[in-house]
Structure 1
Amino acid sequence: MRFLEKTPSAKAPPERFTGDVWVDTITEAQAPSRLRAAMVRFAPGARTAWHRHAVGQTLHVTEGIGLVQSRGGEVLVMRPGDTVHTPPGEWHWHGAAPDHFMTHLALSDRTGDPAVPDVEWGEHVSEAEYEHEGNSSEA
């Protein structure tokens, strides 16, 4: 057993996120494990771009109010204690509500195959898509 080294908080890259987002890596996959875990903090209105995970992703909200949407689905509201799973290959985005910060644990697996990307990133979520959250429902 050993303590893992803490990495500094990192600003999320603007080509993959809209708004102010910070990531604290908890663990990167260490063979034979493929688990990746991070604490992600979103300022009000901040969000990911559309993306999909080859092996799926699980989000666990620890504070604030967040939004999550699968492509073509309703925007769902996430609150502290909520856990949301997106299956492998499902395009989705997630982030903070317009007037609240939101923090979640992001849990995902690496594919284990260097030829298959763990995450595929798409276009940014438009303001119209994000503002559609007024038609959202509870997770």
Structure 2
Amino acid sequence: MNEAFQNLFPQGGPNTAAGQYFSGASYLHPLSSEGGVTVSNVTFEPACRNNWHIHHNGGQILLCTAGRGYYQEWGKPAQELHPGDVISIPPEVKHWHGAAQDSWFAHVAISVPGSKAEWLEPVADAEYRELK
């Protein structure tokens, strides 16, 4: 890992909960599940991103804490993410998020009670490579 990358929360272990829906290595460190709200630190190696997915029965909030990454909603351009950025993802919105090609990336993911991810197709490599 790059010494300039300073993960605010522990990196955790390999993401066995949803790692099969990520291209590349990701790491998961649960922070809390108090009151049914799931809060986890998710760390992505460079170029790792999750598949397109939709949260049903509730949305998700991403608090970007380290590195550089991207978030994209279906049909919209990708937006670059940096520490301090906050993304509020409404339920039923198809999207993906992950690291930039040349940077580790971490965010805290907050999921409301009852929210369930439906995992879809991977982000196309050709489209991802066009991101700067």
TM range (shorter): 0.7 to 0.9
Question: Equivalent residues in 2 for 1:52-63 (5 A)?
Answer: 52-54=54-56, 55-63=58-66
Q: Which runs of 5+ in 1 are unaligned?
A: 1-7, 112-116, 135-139
State the structure with more CA Rg: 1
Q: What root-mean-square deviation, in Å, do the aligned CA atoms of Structure 1 and Structure 2 show?
A: 1.6
Q: Which runs of 5+ in 2 are unaligned?
A: 1-11
> Which residue matches 1:41?
43
> Which residue matches 2:15?
11
Moved over 6 A (4+): none
> Which residue matches 1:23?
28
Instruction: Return the alpha-carbon distance in structure 2 between the equivalents of residues 37 and 129 of structure 1.
Output: 30
Given the alignment of the two structures, is residue 109 of structure 1 paired with residue 112 of structure 2, yes or no? yes
Instruction: Return the alpha-carbon distance in structure 1 between the equivalents of residues 46 and 36 of structure 2.
Output: 31
Count of aligned residue pairs for this structure pair: 119
Instruction: Return the alpha-carbon distance in structure 2 between the equivalents of residues 132 and 69 of structure 1.
Output: 13
Instruction: Return the alpha-carbon distance in structure 1 between the equivalents of residues 30 and 19 of structure 2.
Output: 18
Kindly indicate whether the alpha-carbon contact (under 8 Å) linking 2:14 and 2:25 is maintained by their aligned counterparts in 1.
no
* Identity among equivalent pairs (%): 33
> Per-residue deviation at 1:126?
1.4
